[in-house]
Amino acid sequence: MEFRIDPSHPALPGHFPGRPIVPGVLLLERVLAMIEVAHGPLTALRLPQVKFLQPLLPGEAARIELDGSAPRWRFRVLRGDTLLASGEVIDGAA
């Protein structure tokens, strides 16, 4: 799934003044939304491993790659071939 964070997103002011970058929580929000669209609501969510490697700038295109199935998924967030973030999501209720 490809996505962009609009430069007018309310989370961007102050993160960081003069050179905004997309907060990691917004990347995770997109990952979780993608999982929920495919597999339904997540409950008792755990993120045992998440790494943020490169920044995403507002308006830049990025994509999410998912691997796995309920209750455990591995994800990667990429800008072109550049890895921005990776990690694991576990639905503890499953």
> What does DSSP say about strands 72-79 and 45-52: parallel, antiparallel, or unpaired?
unpaired
* Closest to 1 measured CA to CA, from 36, 30, 28: 30
The reported pLDDT for the residue numbered 92 is 84
Place of tokens 């997309």: 22
The DSSP letter of residue 37 is H
pTM of the model: 0.92
What distances in angstroms separate CA 6 from CA 33, 47, 77, one per listed residue? 17, 25, 17
pLDDT per residue as tens digits for the range 9-64: 998 988 888 889 999 999 999 999 999 999 999 988 999 999 999 999 999 999 99
Contact of 76 with 89, CB cutoff 8 Å: no
Give the CATH fold of the 2-91 domain: Thiol Ester Dehydrase; Chain A (3.10.129)
The reported pLDDT for the residue numbered 94 is 56
pLDDT per residue as tens digits for the range 58-91: 999 999 999 999 999 999 999 999 999 999 999 9
Report how far residue 76's alpha carbon sits from residue 85's, in angstroms, rounded to the nearest whole number.
6
Domain boundaries, the chain: 2-91
pLDDT per residue as tens digits for the range 6-15: 999 998 988 8
